[in-house]
Structure 1
Amino acid sequence: MEAVEKAIQNQVLKVAETVEQQVDAEIQALEKLDIDDIEKLREKRLQDMKKQAKQHQEWLAMGHGEYSELTEEKEFFDVAKKSQKIVCHFYKSDTPRCKIVDHHLKNLCRTHIETRFCKLDVNRAPFLTERLRIKVIPTIVLVNDGKTKDYIVGFTDLGNCDDFSTAMMEWRIAQSGAINYNGDLLQPPEEGKRSKKSVFISKKHTIRGKASDSDDDDDDYQ
């Protein structure tokens, strides 16, 4: 036991020495900077901030930061030409679970300005619904760089329940790269949830009568 403790102590000391060396190296690098170097770093940081602010304004001008409804299919293609990242909810107004999706996407659109969040009634989009082979409602289409990267079909990937959190929805969307995500993509924020029926859902809502079996995850909209 004593030998094990000593080995652990030695390992901890080695790690501490490595960290200390890294800190010393960073301090030495900073000490070598002259006024011109510091001014260059300051100017670079300022330019980066200006660039980020400009990008932010451009996103807002394109409808990012809000959860908007598209009135027709053509709008979807227009959005895809302008925005790199898109989260589009294909819904039906008489499907209760679509309102649950609306709630979470309204929250996420404000924290992920880099992504365009929108919704489209399948009754107004017969061509897209057929092309994307959307059969289960709700379905969320996740687009990155003009390509369909993934689908969230129903709530199966969200814990198979109706009371999943916005964090769970965020984590699932992030799997496709449709939003910037700082968390652990390998670890969902909610584990251990079990499938349960909602008292609000009386039947599975579909458009075509069966679950989607689409293998075409690379539709190009541009």
Structure 2
Amino acid sequence: MESLIEQQLLQAAQVVEQQVDAEINRLESMDEDELEKIRERRVQAMKKAQVQKQEWISKGHGMYSELSSEKEFFDICKESKHVVCHFYKNSSFRCKILDSHLSTLAQQHCETKFIKLDVEKAPFLTERLGIRIIPTMAMVKDSKTQGYIVGFTDLGNCDDFSTEMLEWRLGCSEMVRYKGDLATPPDNRKASSSRPLTEKPKKTIRGREEDSEDSDYES
């Protein structure tokens, strides 16, 4: 079995090496005009990306903002392709944990609009979306709700998850452009590589329907 695996790895390495060699040969055989066309395409792509970024910024992307009304939520969802809305309560300390992470991600991912809305100021929207647990993040794409992140269950079921963990979860739903490995949660990778065998597990929170009083929402 080990010999078979070694052969497969060797074959895969050879294929990659052949592809790299072919690309190098292709680039070396290009004349100046072809290289200039490649450079021009790259410049145009960079200019296009910059224009897109400026358009996002003009719509308030790049910052984590609080909404003043339910109507504003619908206006933003019509204007921005990707929207992540944090439904929160001032009395929930876990909402404050999310605020910190979302503020960081808003600056890192201009392609997505990050907002927050107090559930006590949005009874119609809260009822319409079926929000019962706080915090809840609604993920909206093209004005349609794609799903929810309810509490911290999807984030390792603990209070001290990393910002990258939330970024990974949003990446799994294609709400942000995540550059890491979507197959494995980042906090799992870190834990498996650095946690001592005698280390106690992280403090977890209880399930959705049995969460603490500051995580249950009643209108």
Sort the TM-score into its range (normalised by shorter chain): 0.7 to 0.9
Cα gap change, 1:145 to 1:23, in 2 (>3 Å) = same
The answer to whether residue 69 in structure 2 is matched with residue 72 in structure 1 is yes
Name the structure 2 match of 1:165: 162
Query: Which has the higher Rg, Structure 1 or Structure 2?
Result: 1
Deviations 1:134-189 (A, max 9, x none): 01111111112222111111112222221111111111222211111122222111
Give the distance between the partners of 1:88 and 1:76, measured in 2 at CA: 8
**SS in structure 2 of the partner of residue 190 of structure 1:** helix
Aligned positions, number: 204
**CA-CA distance at 1:194 after TM superposition:** 4.9
Q: Give the letter aligned to residue 196 of structure 1.
A: T
Paired-residue identity, %: 55
The answer to whether residue 140 in structure 2 is matched with residue 133 in structure 1 is no
Which has the larger share of helix? 2
2:47 counterpart (45, 50, 59)? 50
Name the structure 2 match of 1:90: 87
> Unpaired runs of 5+ in structure 1?
210-222
Give the distance between the partners of 1:49 and 1:177, measured in 2 at CA: 22
Give the distance between the partners of 2:6 and 2:72, measured in 1 at CA: 63
Contact preservation (8 Å) 1:85, 1:116: yes
**SS in structure 1 of the partner of residue 91 of structure 2:** coil
Could you state the TM-score of these two structures normalised by the residue count of structure 2? 0.83
**SS in structure 2 of the partner of residue 100 of structure 1:** helix
Name the structure 2 match of 1:217: none
Give the distance between the partners of 1:173 and 1:13, measured in 2 at CA: 36
Name the structure 1 match of 2:204: 196
Q: Give the letter aligned to residue 208 of structure 1.
A: E
**CA-CA distance at 1:31 after TM superposition:** 2.5
**CA-CA distance at 1:204 after TM superposition:** 4.3
Name the structure 2 match of 1:152: 149
1:207 counterpart (207, 211, 217)? 217
Name the structure 2 match of 1:179: 176
Could you state the TM-score of these two structures normalised by the residue count of structure 1? 0.82
Give the distance between the partners of 1:17 and 1:92, measured in 2 at CA: 56
**CA-CA distance at 1:18 after TM superposition:** 3.3
**SS in structure 2 of the partner of residue 90 of structure 1:** strand
Give the distance between the partners of 2:6 and 2:205, measured in 1 at CA: 52
**SS in structure 2 of the partner of residue 161 of structure 1:** coil
Cα gap change, 1:31 to 1:130, in 2 (>3 Å) = same
Please provide the CA RMSD for this pair. 2.6
Q: Give the letter aligned to residue 91 of structure 2.
A: D
Give the distance between the partners of 1:67 and 1:142, measured in 2 at CA: 15
